[in-house]
Amino acid sequence: MADISYDDIVRLAEQLPRAQQVELANHLMQQPQQPLQTRKLSPVEWMRLLETTVIDNPPGEQFSLRREDWYDDDGR
């Protein structure tokens, strides 16, 4: 492996014409991906991740499916 730092590579890539920068980015994205080394999550961590998907709906308040309740007056 060459002794070129990441910062040096970024500076060199920034000096390329825009078209070559895009070509370089496309080339790098097409390289085979190595699986990331990740640790296994504990059951408590899994539950915390799962809880982040829950919609906080106060008790007694009905969840509305009406578009008007979710968006501004102009419907966006």
Q: pLDDT tens digits for 22-50?
A: 999 888 888 777 665 567 888 888 888 88
In a domain, 42, yes or no: no
**Could you give the number of structural domains in the chain?**
1
The answer to whether residue 71 is domain-embedded is: no
Neighbours of 21 (CB within 10 A): 13
pTM for the full predicted model: 0.41
Q: What is the pLDDT of residues 57-72, one digit of tens each?
A: 666 667 777 777 777 7
**Residue 23: which domain range?**
1-29
Handedness of CA 50, 51, 53, 54 (dihedral sign): positive
Q: Judge whether 35 lies within some domain.
A: no
